[in-house]
């Protein structure tokens, strides 16, 4: 009986895989594997108003998260831009969190098939139109990549790269 159940589950799994393969046949390279959220923060020990009037306050959770990392400990944080872009199977994607400015860009491409909680990416950080950093990023459900970036107006910019959750907060 158990063997029969195993066989039936395998058959059902094959049906599911076949249907998934058909849906991506038009251009399998454009199949979306997930989404990446790139947010830029201004971090400073001085006056956070330097980030500008439109900069948003940051939740206490996020502030705590930053301060738990010795390298990212500052007195004040402000969010100054965000972009959410898809991870495609065979194409690279660019995130432009400070759009229309291209001062900070993140380029990423899937390295391998993701699991529900882990995405492996080839990721590049571009600053002032120069490729500054290249890394193989492991983005997990609750584990983002935080990059302490350039100085600006008495503080530093932190670029946070994370898997976007299902309910998109919107971009562009």
Partner 1 sequence: MNNPSGEPSKITQGPDGSIVMDVSSSDYEDDFRLVALAQKGDMRAYDELVTRHRGKIFAMIRNMIHQEADAWDISQDVFIKAWHALPRFEAKARFSTWLYRIAHNAVYDWTRKRKIESVGELNDEIFERERIDSASLTTPSGGEMPDQSMVQGELRNKIQAALNKLSPEHREVVVLKDVQGLSYKEIAEAMSSTLGTVMSRLYYARQKLQTLLKDEYHSR
Partner 2 sequence: MNTTPDEANLALWLDDELEGAELAALEAWALSQPDHLAAREETRCWRLLIAGAIPHSEEPPFPDFFNSRIAQGIRDQMPTPVVHEKKAAFWKSWLMPMAACAGMVFAFWIGTMSETQSLAGRTAEIEIPVIPKAIPVQIVYTPESGVNAELFASDATSPMVIVLSGIAAIPDAMDFSATTYIPREREFDSTAGNGPLPTEETH
Within positions 48 to 87, which residues make up the interface with partner 1, using CB under 8 A? 85-86
CB 136 within 8 A of CB 123: yes
**How many Å apart are CA 71 and CA 97, to the nearest integer?**
22
CA angle (157 as vertex; 153, 161 as ends), nearest 5: 165
Nearer to partner 1 among residue 105 and residue 159 (C-beta): 105
Binding mask 42-61 for partner 2 (x = CB under 8 A): ---x-----xxxxxx-xx-x
Task: Report residue 65: phi and psi, to 5°.
Answer: -60, -45
Among 44, 74, 88, 106, binds partner 2 (CB under 8 A): 74
Question: Which H or E element spans position 67?
Answer: helix 60-67
Q: Cα–Cα distance between 28 and 30 in angstroms, integer?
A: 5
Q: Which does 129 bind (CB under 5 to 8 A by kind): partner 1, partner 2, none?
A: partner 1
CB closer to partner 1 out of 14 and 133: 133
Residue 52's binding partner among partner 1, partner 2, none (Cβ under 5 to 8 angstroms by kind) is: partner 2
Joined tokens for residue 6 = 């195993």
Single out the residue of 37, 39, 82, 96 in contact with partner 1 (rule: CB under 8 A): 96
DSSP state of 53: T
* Binds partner 1 by CB under 8 A, chosen from 10, 75, 131, 143: 131
The rounded distance, in Å, linking the Cα atoms of 143 and 11 is: 35
> What residues line the site for partner 1 (CB under 8 A)?
30, 32, 85-86, 88, 90-94, 96, 100, 102, 105, 122, 124, 128-131, 134, 171-172
């Amino acid at each position: 009986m158990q063997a029969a159940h195993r066989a039936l589950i395998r058959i059902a799994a094959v049906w599911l895989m076949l249907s998934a393969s058909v849906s991506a046949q038009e251009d399998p390279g454009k199949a979306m594997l997930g989404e990446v959220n790139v947010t830029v923060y201004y971090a400073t020990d001085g006056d956070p108003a330097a980030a500008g009037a439109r900069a948003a306050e940051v939740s206490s959770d996020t502030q705590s998260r930053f301060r738990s990392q010795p390298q990212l400990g500052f007195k004040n944080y402000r969010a100054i831009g965000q972009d959410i872009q898809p991870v495609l199977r065979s194409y690279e994607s660019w995130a432009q969190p400070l759009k229309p400015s291209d001062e900070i860009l993140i380029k990423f491409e899937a390295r391998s098939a993701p699991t529900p909680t882990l995405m492996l990416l080839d990721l590049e950080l571009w600053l002032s139109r120069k490729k500054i950093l290249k890394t193989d990023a492991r983005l997990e459900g609750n584990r983002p990549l935080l990059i302490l970036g350039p100085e600006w107006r008495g503080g530093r910019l932190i670029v946070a790269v994370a898997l976007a959750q299902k309910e998109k907060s919107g971009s562009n």
